[in-house]
Amino acid sequence: MGIESDQVVYEYLSRVGDVAQQRQLPSSTRMRLVSELRNEIDRHRARATVDSPAAVRRILDQLGSPDDVVRSAG
């Protein structure tokens, strides 16, 4: 897994955490959500033939925007 690809993931997860906090989700819910997303992203990346920032963005697009993810979780 490349540093640039990891950075894309970190930025996405950070945004999910920020949106969850703005929507006043409990801390434990935010932590669980980010952890579950991280695990899901890692599983997708492990199965991918290429680990580039573009490939990671495609995975994140499939998961949905941070707003959509938080809305579904909350």
pLDDT in tens, the chain (74 residues): 689 999 999 999 999 999 999 999 999 999 999 999 999 999 999 999 998 999 999 999 999 999 999 999 87
Coil/strand/helix, residue 2:
coil
**Domain that residue 30 falls in:** 3-73
Domain tally, the chain: 1
User: How deeply is 16 buried, as exposed, middle or buried, from its count of CB atoms within 10 A (0-12, 13-18, 19+)?
Assistant: buried
One-letter amino acid of 69: V
pTM of the predicted protein model: 0.93
